[in-house]
């Protein structure tokens, strides 16, 4: 198309008109698509996800943008390798895919094949993915972790020969256990080659020390191989000083994790600072927080024994002295027992026993005599009470008393009888009719019948009546009663009192 310019201001296109080619829209679009696909092909592009839409078909549509532009993207369901979970509105991602044109709309777009996080995020995601994968495989299982020897003497060292880690390790180890030996297999611990070199160094030290390439004869069944001879190293220390996540990245690579998992010798991992955890830390038999901490752990057995070794002689002397003192004490105790069994001592004991018995005997005798004496006195007393003269006297006294009581009883009875007689006589006296007459009363009776006259009707005029007085009696004749209807009053015969009735 280039033509030689005629003037400074000749921009071309003003000359002979080229032949007009008229495209159909489809033709043009297809051409653009082919051009795009051919010229750009697969690209990596970074930006922020926006306007994410997931269709029911499973395809995802979204836009990535930066400050100046935006790009339509589509992630089809069939792309198995893409990490869909990383797509989120506002998420910064790195996309891998092919540029193409969606012809029906004439819109160019990115067909996404892979999604990654950008920078730190990408590393963290990779770390997490590998961690989950190895965890699921059982590479971190506590059952396969091996105890470290208490007194390691030779240690294989996998680190850089110029780094801070080896300096720290040798410094601490030299101070705490200078008898330790290190065998260094230097390697890079940073950069793209580091992971491979670290893994090779671990394998190399293992092979050199044991002649074996792996601890497993069957890694999935976890059957271990047996060592033919004691290894030339006690363990391997894989180490690196502090740095950024990218700096430490080699220790998060799967190849390093596998090398540690396969290591015949126990592996200690000491990478970065306390806060840094790497995949190699999880796979290793022991994780030390820092290189210095690893050196402390590995020298702890000897270091802590140093103080004890220093005071062991003192302890030995103390113990020997104590044991000798115990032996002497026992000997003295036995001598004492022997002395106690000496014959003369036996004899003395027997003498003493005899004396004791003698004393007891005397005491018992005295006590017996006292008892007899008191019994004798009691008997004598009772005998005195049984004297016949006294018994006679008591009988006399009793007789006299009885006699007295008899007399008293007799006279008392007599008196009571007399009294009763008097009383009876007196009462008889009171009841006598003569007594009544004495008080002036009289008794009148029929002369003839001798019946006592109690009423005037009993008297018939002309009847002779006898009246009895206290002293004597007289006869009279009834005349009439005082009412006048009776017979005329009688004329007294004998006149002590001539008118009886008036």
Partner 1 sequence: MTYEEALTRLETIVQAMESEELPLESMLARFEEGMNLSKACQAKLAEAELKIKQLEQTQDGTLAVKPASLPELVSEA
Burial 337-352, CB ≥16 within 10 A → b, else e: eeeeeeeeeeeeeeee
Angle at 37 between CA 36 and CA 40, to 5 degrees: 70
**Cβ 229 to partner 1 shortest distance, Å:** 17
Asked whether position 309 contacts partner 1 by CB under 8 A, the answer is: yes
Asked whether position 170 contacts partner 1 by CB under 8 A, the answer is: yes
61 or 182: CB nearest partner 1:
182
209 or 478: CB nearest partner 1:
209
Among 180, 189, 257, 265, binds partner 1 (CB under 8 A): 180
User: Could you give the C-alpha distances from 414 to 408, 410, 411, 456, in angstroms and in order?
Assistant: 10, 6, 5, 52
Among 46, 51, 162, 335, binds partner 1 (CB under 8 A): 162
Asked whether position 331 contacts partner 1 by CB under 8 A, the answer is: no
- Site residues for partner 1, 245-304, by CB under 8 A, read 302
DSSP assigned state of 76: -
Using alpha carbons, select from 302, 278, 300, 301 the residue that is nearest to residue 290: 278
Among 100, 177, 263, 280, binds partner 1 (CB under 8 A): 177
Asked whether position 375 contacts partner 1 by CB under 8 A, the answer is: no
Among 56, 179, 341, 502, binds partner 1 (CB under 8 A): 179
> Distance between CA 250 and CA 261 in Å, rounded?
16
- Counting residues that bind partner 1 (by CB under 8 A) gives 39
**Cβ 166 to partner 1 shortest distance, Å:** 7
Query: Of all helices (H) and strands (E), which one includes residue 302?
Result: helix 291-340
Q: Which stretch binds partner 1 (CB under 8 A): 211-219, 315-323, 410-418, 420-428?
A: 315-323
Query: Of all helices (H) and strands (E), which one includes residue 62?
Result: strand 60-65
Contacts of 314 (CB under 8 A, 6+ apart): none
Asked whether position 173 contacts partner 1 by CB under 8 A, the answer is: yes
Read off φ and ψ for residue 405, nearest 5 degrees. -65, -35
**Cβ 151 to partner 1 shortest distance, Å:** 4
Among 310, 377, 411, 418, binds partner 1 (CB under 8 A): 310
**Cβ 243 to partner 1 shortest distance, Å:** 18
Asked whether position 56 contacts partner 1 by CB under 8 A, the answer is: no
Rg (CA), the chain: 79
Q: Which stretch binds partner 1 (CB under 8 A): 51-59, 100-108, 203-211, 256-264?
A: 203-211
> Distance between CA 36 and CA 30 in Å, rounded?
10
**Cα 245 to chain center, whole Å?**
48
Asked whether position 14 contacts partner 1 by CB under 8 A, the answer is: no
> Distance between CA 394 and CA 406 in Å, rounded?
19
Asked whether position 492 contacts partner 1 by CB under 8 A, the answer is: no
**Cβ 322 to partner 1 shortest distance, Å:** 9
Q: What's the length of the chain? A: 502
**Cβ 240 to partner 1 shortest distance, Å:** 16
Using alpha carbons, select from 86, 80, 89 the residue that is nearest to residue 122: 86
Cβ neighbours, 10 Å, residue 217: 12
Asked whether position 202 contacts partner 1 by CB under 8 A, the answer is: no
Q: Which stretch binds partner 1 (CB under 8 A): 94-102, 164-172, 400-408, 482-490?
A: 164-172
Asked whether position 313 contacts partner 1 by CB under 8 A, the answer is: yes
> Distance between CA 311 and CA 473 in Å, rounded?
168
Query: Of all helices (H) and strands (E), which one includes residue 339?
Result: helix 291-340
> Distance between CA 1 and CA 461 in Å, rounded?
222
169 or 283: CB nearest partner 1:
169
Asked whether position 184 contacts partner 1 by CB under 8 A, the answer is: yes
Residue ranges in contact with partner 1 by CB under 8 A: 150-151, 153, 161-162, 166-167, 170-171, 173-174, 177-186, 204-205, 207-208, 302, 305-306, 309-310, 312-313, 315-316, 319-320, 323-324, 327
């Amino acid at each position: 198309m280039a033509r030689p310019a005629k003037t400074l201001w000749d921009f071309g296109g003003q000359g002979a008109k080229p032949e007009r080619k008229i495209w159909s829209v489809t033709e043009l679009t297809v051409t653009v698509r082919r051009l795009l696909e051919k010229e750009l092909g697969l690209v990596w592009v970074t930006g922020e996800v926006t306007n994410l839409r997931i269709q029911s078909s499973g395809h995802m549509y979204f836009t990535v943008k930066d400050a100046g532009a935006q790009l339509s993207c589509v992630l089809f369901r069939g792309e198995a390798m893409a990490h869909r979970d990383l797509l989120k509105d506002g998420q910064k991602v790195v996309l891998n895919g092919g540029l193409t044109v969606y012809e029906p709309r004439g819109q160019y777009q990115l067909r996404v094949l892979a999604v990654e996080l950008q920078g730190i995020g990408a590393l963290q995601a990779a770390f997490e993915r590998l961690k989950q994968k190895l965890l699921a495989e059982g590479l971190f299982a506590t059952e396969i972790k091996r105890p470290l020897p208490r007194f390691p003497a030779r240690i294989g060292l996998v680190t850089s020969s110029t780094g801070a880690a080896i300096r720290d390790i040798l410094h601490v180890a030299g101070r705490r256990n200078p008898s330790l030996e290190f065998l260094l297999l230097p390697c890079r611990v940073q950069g793209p080659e580091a992971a491979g070199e670290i893994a090779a160094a671990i394998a190399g030290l293992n092979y050199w020390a044991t002649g074996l390439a792996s601890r497993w004869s069957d890694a999935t069944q976890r059957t271990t191989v047996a060592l033919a001879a004691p290894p030339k190293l006690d363990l391997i220390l894989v180490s690196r000083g502090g740095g950024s996540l990218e700096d430490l990245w080699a220790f998060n690579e799967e190849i390093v994790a596998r090398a540690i998992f396969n290591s015949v010798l126990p592996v200690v991992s000491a990478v970065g600072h306390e806060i840094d955890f790497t995949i190699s830390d999880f796979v290793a038999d022991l994780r030390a927080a820092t290189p210095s901490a690893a050196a402390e752990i590995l020298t702890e057995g000897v270091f802590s024994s140093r103080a004890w070794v220093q005071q062991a002689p003192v302890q030995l002397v103390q113990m020997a002295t104590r044991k000798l003192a115990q032996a002497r004490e026992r000997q003295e105790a036995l001598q004492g027992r022997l002395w106690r069994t000496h014959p003369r001592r036996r004899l003395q004991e027997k003498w003493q026993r005899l004396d004791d018995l003698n004393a007891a005997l005397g005491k018992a005798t005295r006590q017996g005599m006292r008892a007899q004496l008191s019994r004798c006195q009691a008997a004598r007393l009772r005998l005195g009470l049984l004297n016949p003269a006294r018994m006679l006297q008591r009988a006399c006294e009793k007789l006299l008393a009885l006699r007295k009581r008899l007399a008293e009883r007799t006279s008392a009875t007599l008196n009571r009888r007399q009294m009763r007689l008097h009383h009876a006589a007196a009462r008889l006296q009171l009841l006598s009719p003569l007594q009544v007459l004495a008080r002036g009363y009289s008794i009148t009776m029929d002369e003839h019948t001798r019946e006592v006259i109690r009423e005037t009707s009993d008297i018939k005029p002309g009847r002779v009546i006898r009246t009895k007085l206290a002293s004597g009696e007289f006869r009279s004749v009834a005349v009439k009663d005082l009412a006048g209807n009776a017979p005329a009053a009688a004329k007294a015969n004998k006149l002590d009192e001539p008118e009886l009735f008036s």
